[in-house]
Structure 1
Amino acid sequence: MSTSAAAHPRFAEALAALGLHVPVRAFPDATRTAVQAAEAIGCDLGQIVKSLIFAADGVPVLVLMDGASRVDVGLVRTELGAAEVRRADADLVRETTGYAIGGVPPFGHRTRTTVLADRRLLDHETVWAAAGTPHTVFPVAPAELVRHAGATLADVRERAE
């Protein structure tokens, strides 16, 4: 499917409010993980955007990370000036975003949060992010993604040892 009708209704509303006209692709099998999404789309793993919720000193924060990398919580802690950063549990993810893990889009959330986008996302011409369900994704230029998500660019990915 290639219309925003495939997207989660809240995310479709966010697209409309932003004036974004992007093709939303739906898949019969879940694209819940970055690997599943890259295989279904036929793109590089690094072109997948993971929308990950963390709690920084108890406050939810969204980190946008490429699918081939992992978030370094120490770098997130430093970037935010937080004492503690931990991965959010499923309840906090749903409470904060309105979406289930595996379908969290980069914007269109229930509540407004601080957003960090790893700079490595800009290495690609197009990236793919969840459209509100584990079965839907949409393509977008990374700079547009950062702008519409209200993200701050940061270096928050784990480095290979």
Structure 2
Amino acid sequence: MSSAGVARFLDAVGPLGISPQVREFDESTHTAADAAAAIGCPVEAIVKSLVFEADGEPLLVLASGPNRVDTGALGARLGVAIGKADANRVKAASGYSIGGVPPLGLLTPMRTVCDETLLTLSTVWAAAGSATAVFAIDPAELVRLSGAEVLPIA
């Protein structure tokens, strides 16, 4: 693997009992559309790992590619006020830069919510520690390993 972020991700998920096959691309997989085009999968199968602020604590939302997080509705479901986390907060909380945040193996454990629509798919693709690296995982396994609460996010 070429990037330090990918190596860090693989080291972090090893203790979870998984060794994902990371695919790296020359072009960026920074956006869901870019990632889907590079992989050759529907954009719905792309997991966006989004870090928000929830009552001052980091909150990780695993969202399906085309879906937008309704922070007001999700905050009401969780009983917290949700706001945007800036790039510095994302990096400090997760250990990764925006666009490369994986759904697992983060610097600090954080409350995680998984978009319920991801569970309608057999395989999803998520960032693997850099903006050009992804890995495939069964969405039910992703929920289990991340300890995510499965909720509507839109």
TM-score category by the smaller chain?
Answer: over 0.9
Of 82, 86, 92 in structure 2, the residue corresponding to residue 85 of structure 1 is: 82
Partner residue, 1:41: 39
How far residue 12 of structure 1 moved from its aligned partner, in angstroms, is 0.5
2:94 and 2:19 map into 1 onto residues whose CA distance is 21
- Whether the 8 Å CA contact 2:100–2:132 is kept in 1: the answer is yes
CA RMSD of aligned residues (A): 1.1
1:49-92 CA-to-partner distances (Å, cap 9, x unmatched) read 0000010111110000000110110122112211x211111000
Q: Any residues of structure 2 matched to 1:62-141 within 5 Å, and which?
A: 62-82=60-80, 84-141=81-138
How far residue 127 of structure 1 moved from its aligned partner, in angstroms, is 0.2
1:112 and 1:22 map into 2 onto residues whose CA distance is 20
How far residue 8 of structure 1 moved from its aligned partner, in angstroms, is 1.6
How far residue 21 of structure 1 moved from its aligned partner, in angstroms, is 2.6
Of 142, 145, 150 in structure 2, the residue corresponding to residue 148 of structure 1 is: 145
How far residue 9 of structure 1 moved from its aligned partner, in angstroms, is 2.1
Letter in 2 for 1:49: V
2:107 and 2:113 map into 1 onto residues whose CA distance is 17
Moved >4 Å (runs of 4+):
none
* TM-score for the superposition, normalised by structure 1: 0.91
2:11 and 2:76 map into 1 onto residues whose CA distance is 34
Letter in 1 for 2:91: R
Partner residue, 1:11: 9
1:8 and 1:22 map into 2 onto residues whose CA distance is 11
Of 49, 52, 55 in structure 2, the residue corresponding to residue 54 of structure 1 is: 52
1:81-131 CA-to-partner distances (Å, cap 9, x unmatched) read 11x211111000000000000000001111111000011000110000000
How far residue 18 of structure 1 moved from its aligned partner, in angstroms, is 1.0
Letter in 2 for 1:58: G
Partner residue, 1:20: 18
- Kindly tell me the number of residue pairs found equivalent between the two proteins: 152
